[in-house]
Amino acid sequence: MNRIKGTRQVEVNGKLLWVTSKNTEGNIRICNLCKEAKELEAYPYLKQQSGEYYLKARCKKCISRSSRSWNLANLDKHQESKFKYNLSFYGITPEQYREKLKQQNGVCEICKSPPSQGRTLLSVDHDHKCCPKGGSCGRCVRGLLCEDCNKAIGILKESKDTLRSAISYLDKYDEHFEG
């Protein structure tokens, strides 16, 4: 049974998708943008609120090309949008990030360095015991860290005992080589 007049269901990579009969014949479809005939696998699909999947009218290459063009033409909007999206994983707004950055004088809370070369932002650090599956609720955000300090804390599994042991280790060899 067709959901919308002029559509039919096809199987693409094991997933049942609805496609319009227009511009589609068998397993081949003509892209609305580049007008090239391509196999259905070359088209992305979209999940509707109904839970059904529909094949898009533009091929993946054309969508990628037009997205890249828009991003370059609207760089400020794109970067702000990406910034908001990334912060949403930590449950904070761009305003809260900027306030935290201001409180820290624009530097890493641990080593007091600005962001690593090639990076423009400090990483958002949060307590993984509160939100262990990635992201954050926003209440467990601790501070903003440079990439190296953020990785170091992660590698040490946020263990204060391991960090104290690492400090003792460094102190031991400082004394060993100073004398």
Fold adopted by 7-67: Wheat Germ Agglutinin (Isolectin 2); domain 1 (3.30.60)
pLDDT at residue 1 in the model: 45
Q: 19, exposed or middle or buried, with CB in 10 Å at 0-12, 13-18, 19+?
A: buried
Q: What is the pLDDT of residue 2?
A: 45
d(CA 143, CA 171): 27
Write down the pLDDT at residue 75.
80
Report in angstroms the alpha-carbon separations of 125 from 7, 97, 112, 140.
48, 11, 15, 9
Helices 75-88, 94-103: axis angle to 10 degrees equals: 80
Domain boundary assignment for the chain: 7-67, 75-178
How many of the other CB atoms lie within 10 Å of CB of 31? 20
Write down the pLDDT at residue 176: 66
Tens-digit pLDDT profile for the chain (179 aa)?
A: 445 667 777 888 887 877 876 777 888 888 989 999 999 889 888 888 788 888 888 999 999 988 888 877 888 887 788 888 889 888 899 999 999 999 999 999 999 998 877 677 898 998 888 877 777 888 888 999 998 999 999 899 889 999 999 999 998 888 766 65
**Both ends of the chain: CA-CA distance in Å?**
85
CATH architecture of 75-178: 3-Layer(aba) Sandwich (3.40)
User: For 166, left (φ over 0), alpha (ψ -120 to 50), or beta?
Assistant: alpha
